[in-house]
Structure 1
């Protein structure tokens, strides 16, 4: 069986947040929500200052806490070890959010993409209204990636959770997750951890790696090198 994982090279990462933007476009993620995000730390005082930027996403843990606590099995592990979510089974109880040590699960408390229902222009006479954009494009949303709906709801409904899927719809077509594909610094490597010749294992063999919050015992499959 395939065992997918990801390595993020923090020496290559430039902190541009291109991964977050790419993820939003690929997965139709609403404003204020992130499947791919980051945290940063600043230590010291001028001129001896150290800045650390760490991209984050679902770790697709081997022992996923979100899967263990979900009362309806809406959170589950697939045959490739991905931690996925079934919106038809989700009751919005947020147990998975409370159990996840990494804060990477989002909850749709409002109707998604409500900004496209606005009837007022940001700059009167200078910008189009959301209604005008819908009329000109013939779409409810001016931008929508239909490919996302191949394996998951294209837009998740109000009252349920959502999170990174490692772009499972792209994996099925032998494509890399879009955050990996779009990274301008090639800081991300994705592949099969069970394949000794895979690129991800080559990176892990070259550098010592670490995971976020190893003390939680979830065995994340997102690794960081050169941090």
Structure 2
């Protein structure tokens, strides 16, 4: 049984946001909900300033507070140690949100893609309304959706929480998480912690790594390496 983890190389990350866009497209995320995001810090005093980016996502903690606190077991551990969420069991109590110290669990409080039902055009007399565009495209509700999620529910219903799943629907097919695949700088590396020859183990062995809020004992499986480091390694996205 694999033990999946992600390494994020802060030296390679340019803060482009490609991971955020890729995640939204892959998982059909509505406006206002991001499973993948980033924190931006400005360091120094103008004009001598630089930006520091830290990508964020579910840490898939080994000792996950969200799983422990879920009364219906909607949040649970699955193959590879991935923290999964079953929306059919979720009652929207949001205990997981309260328990998660990383703030990465989102609550879907409105109808997903409800904006596509609006009849008021964005620019009167100039643009079509969302409902008119849907009619012209012959779609109902959502003009485009990634149906590769299939049985993993392409669009979540209202009144449930949702979060990053390490693209479980891709991993079980032998594919990398889409944020890893889409990163143009190869700043995200995914693989098996229990495989001594995996790329994630190579990087964790060569560079000092940190995890968010390690003091809480959650044992996150998202590791950050380097900030500025002149050392180099052969670029890779990892592997399964």
TM-score bracket relative to the smaller structure: over 0.9
Provide structure 2 residue ranges, at least 5 long, that are not aligned to the other structure. Answer: 228-240
Task: Report matched runs for 1:1-227 at 5 Å.
Answer: 1-140=1-140, 141-150=142-151, 152-227=152-227
Q: How many residues get paired? A: 226
User: C-alpha distance in 1, partners of 2:63/2:150?
Assistant: 27
User: C-alpha distance in 1, partners of 2:218/2:28?
Assistant: 28
User: C-alpha distance in 2, partners of 1:45/1:218?
Assistant: 36
Question: Cα RMSD over matched residues?
Answer: 1.3
Q: Secondary structure at the match of 1:124?
A: coil
Query: What's the offset of the Cα at 1:183?
Result: 0.6
Q: 1:47-86 deviations in whole A, cap 9, x for unaligned?
A: 3434211000000000001001111111100131000001
Q: Secondary structure at the match of 1:31?
A: coil
User: C-alpha distance in 2, partners of 1:195/1:129?
Assistant: 52
User: C-alpha distance in 2, partners of 1:189/1:220?
Assistant: 15
User: C-alpha distance in 1, partners of 2:111/2:183?
Assistant: 30
Provide structure 1 residue ranges, at least 5 long, that are not aligned to the other structure. Answer: none
- Segment of structure 1 superposing worse, 4-13 or 200-209: 200-209
User: C-alpha distance in 1, partners of 2:130/2:72?
Assistant: 37
Query: What's the offset of the Cα at 1:35?
Result: 0.3
Query: What's the offset of the Cα at 1:91?
Result: 0.7
